[in-house]
Chains A and B, each alone.
Chain A
Amino acid sequence: KAGVTQTPRYLIKTRGQQVTLSCSPISGHRSVSWYQQTPGQGLQFLFEYFSETQRNKGNFPGRFSGRQFSNSRSEMNVSTLELGDSALYLCASSTGPTGGDTQYFGPGTRLTVL
């Protein structure tokens, strides 16, 4: 089975721009979660989608949004980029809702905001 894939793997943007990151879960997985990892804050939960519905959202501003499609693929969007948004963005998929199932992580998208 193919693993979780994320595109693009690397991205450079400038302040004020917006960005869309994509995550394709393992086939059959219906839950996708997104995380931000920075050297200062470590790993932080962004949001979780299950069967196209956002189940939970972490403590991030409204500039961070996401969605899940009927094939379980998910996208996250960050608008009006700030320097502090530079981070590794990871997604993970699982068969059931997050927490009750093993999470399978993608390789991440490294976003640099200049």
Chain B
Amino acid sequence: KNEVEQSPQNLTAQEGEFITINCSYSVGISALHWLQQHPGGGIVSLFMLSSGKKKHGRLIATINIQEKHSSLHITASHPRDSAVYICADNTGNQFYFGTGTSLTVIP
């Protein structure tokens, strides 16, 4: 069974700070997904990556296949970034989810 661990579980930051959320998985993957969930439940897929690095606006996702580790970075954080961030590992056509990181950005 694939174990997906995220850290930290909770994170509070001041507006403008650089934020890093980490995700480790135990089994080789097909793809690693980063999801964002706002209060109320809606989930948005931020990134899907199987190697290297992807950037979208102020968000950057990296993955190290050898170390089985991925990071999500948010530059110049803003209160609207406040949400739960979830990494999901796709292995054997199944998704295994981390427990999520709850981010609060204070103005």
How distant is the Cα of A42 from the Cα of B44 in the complex, in angstroms?
16
How distant is the Cα of A98 from the Cα of B96 in the complex, in angstroms?
12
If over half of B's interface residues share one DSSP class (helix, strand or loop), that class is named, otherwise mixed; here it is strand
**How many whole Å from A87's CB to the nearest CB in chain B?**
11
Chain B interface category by residue count: 20 to 34
**Which A12-31 residues sit within 8 Å CB-CB of chain B?**
none
- Contact (Cβ within 8 A) A105 B44: yes
Chain A interface category by residue count: 20 to 34
Chain B contacts of A108 at CB under 8 A?
A: 41-42
- Contact (Cβ within 8 A) A98 B41: no
- Contact (Cβ within 8 A) A107 B94: no
- Contact (Cβ within 8 A) A42 B95: no
Question: Which residue of chain B has the shortest Cβ distance to A50 in the bound complex?
Answer: B93
